[in-house]
Chain A
Amino acid sequence: MATEDKLVTIHVMGEAFRVPEGSTIMTALEYAGFQLTTGVGCREGFCGACGTLYREAGDYKIKGGLACQTVVTDGMHLAQIPFVPAAKPVYDIEALSPDEEAIKRIYPEVFRCVACSTCTKICPQDIQVMDYVQCLMRGDIAQAANISFDCLRCGLCGLRCPAEIVQYNAATLARRLYGRYLARPSERLERRVEAIARGDYDAQLDELQGLDADALKKRYYDREIKTK
């Protein structure tokens, strides 16, 4: 149990709360009595549901972070951004090609980018957001997919963009185009899927399903691990 001298003050949408030093924003909110039903998800920094804007004492800069990953500091002001009502057009991936023409058709606002880097500054994942926007503009879909790979779609970039681009949705399109048209097909995966469909593993699966928990654990820990 935290003692009084290990508490810090945070301001949640203007209201002050005393919370344990060293806790994440999410833990602190719950300590302060908030029951989180939105703006919360995996609690492990993977889902992007808990995008939060905050400002630290003595600083004028508004920063972005994930509530489950960002540690509170004394005097912090914050507001959670549980949802961004950004445009998310519906498209048929089969009717698109993996180039700048697809971006022009679905997200034409991407071409308004002035390379100000405001998106990169706010990204809690430290992604070079502006760089992938620039890749989208010149049709380098593979590189856009690669740079944006760690995006959690928290939406903070789109909120800050002076060109009103919805970067993370355009990046999702790039990764879909990459997967559909550019990624090298995995022959081993295809062979394995065929074998499964053929029923090659049915007997083994049936056997596993018949084992009790202890026998399963033993199998798991005794399994042969192939290394290259």
Chain B
Amino acid sequence: MSLLYFPGCTLKNKARNFDASTLEVFSALGVELAELERWNCCGTVFSMADDDLMLQLAPLRNLLRAEQQGGGELLVPCSMCYNTLRRAQRFAAADPERLGRIRDFMYDEPSAYRGDVEVRHPLAYLRDRVGLERVKQAVERPLGGLRLGAYYGCLLLRPSELAVDDPARPRVMEDLIAALGAEPVEFGQRAECCGAYQTLSWRAVTLRRTYEILGSACAAGARALLTSCPLCAYNLDQMQREAVKSYPDLCAMPVLYFTELMVIAMGLGWKPEWSALHEVDPQPVLDAAGA
């Protein structure tokens, strides 16, 4: 079967490994992802200014593109894109008057936005549509009980209306880790903020978040972290080199996209160029699978 797929900008450059691994994993599970044609930036961070409709154009235009290309479900792996698209969808559904003004502005589109596309995150799709049992069956190189922490951050869980799982006690990523033959470890900071874009304006705040999140995962016994957010990956992985200067006892560990872990466990072939996109070498995770 075929499913519409929205990669988002970062998956086309700094997180190419997230894009490629998502495509590989879904293909191996019998779901061919069809990249949305003429997609644009998701809008990057949902706008909380409810009178600035201009900032809703980017996410809603993507949803309109999905409608124009058959509609149904739209798979969005990046946590930021997922969050922005879902919230824009809710914003439009809840406010017909404002949606009317947005439609008027988009008069050059061949059809008007109706709001009948469902934005889905791969974690929820794997759980609800594919089934984690089927994922388990596809595992060729079980991860030998490697202890892994699932890092949700903010955007997969908040606001609660769009959470991919119970926002207070999520378990979908832990269940996936277990299905892949690794051991999930829960840690206190798994749903805390990574510091997000403070990394650009107030670096010290993000470095402290990096230190604390990694420390929390380390204390629980995790040897690597999983994420679905390129911004979290930047703050938790790329920032480790800088964070260790402020925090010499920082617990260094690799940070992988959950689809990368699936590629490893399903024996789909890790691409050497993906390693170069990681700051901390993910080799220990590959070793655990004998890959």
Whether B38 lies near A131 (C-beta < 8 A) is yes
Residue B61 at the A interface, CB < 8 A? Answer: yes
Interface string of B107-123 (1 = CB under 8 A from A): 01000000000000000
Whether A116 lies near B57 (C-beta < 8 A) is yes
Complex Cα spacing A218 to B9, Å:
57
* Smallest beta-carbon distance A182→chain B, Å: 15
* Smallest beta-carbon distance B62→chain A, Å: 8
* Smallest beta-carbon distance B102→chain A, Å: 10
Residue A109 at the B interface, CB < 8 A? Answer: no
Interface string of B8-34 (1 = CB under 8 A from A): 011011000000000000000000000
Residue B163 at the A interface, CB < 8 A? Answer: no
* Smallest beta-carbon distance B120→chain A, Å: 22
Residue A114 at the B interface, CB < 8 A? Answer: yes
Residue A113 at the B interface, CB < 8 A? Answer: yes
Most chain A Cβ neighbours within 10 Å, of B12, B40, B55: B40
Residue A160 at the B interface, CB < 8 A? Answer: no
Whether B13 lies near A162 (C-beta < 8 A) is no
Please name all residues of chain B whose beta carbon is closer than 8 Å to the beta carbon of A117 when the two chains form the complex.
57, 61, 106, 108
Number of inter-chain CB pairs below 8 Å? 44
**Chain B interface size range:** 10 to 19
Whether B58 lies near A115 (C-beta < 8 A) is yes
Whether A131 lies near B108 (C-beta < 8 A) is no
**Chain A interface size range:** 10 to 19
Whether A137 lies near B105 (C-beta < 8 A) is no
B108, closest chain A residue (CB): A121
Complex Cα spacing A120 to B58, Å:
14
Complex Cα spacing A130 to B58, Å:
11
* Smallest beta-carbon distance B234→chain A, Å: 15
* Smallest beta-carbon distance A170→chain B, Å: 15
Whether A120 lies near B13 (C-beta < 8 A) is no
A138 and B9 contact, Cβ closer than 8 Å, known pairs A131-B38, A131-B40: yes
Whether A139 lies near B106 (C-beta < 8 A) is no
Whether B38 lies near A115 (C-beta < 8 A) is no
Whether A116 lies near B41 (C-beta < 8 A) is no
One of B38, B41, B55 near A137 (C-beta < 8 A): B41
Binding site for A on B (CB under 8 A): 9-10, 12-13, 38-41, 43, 54-55, 57-58, 61, 105-106, 108
**Across the A-B interface, the 9 shortest Cβ-Cβ residue pairs:** A115-B58, A138-B9, A134-B40, A138-B12, A115-B40, A139-B13, A116-B57, A115-B61, A115-B57
16 contacts between A and B (CB under 8 A): A99-B13, A100-B9, A114-B54, A114-B55, A115-B40, A115-B43, A115-B57, A120-B108, A130-B40, A131-B38, A131-B40, A134-B41, A138-B9, A138-B13, A139-B9, A140-B12
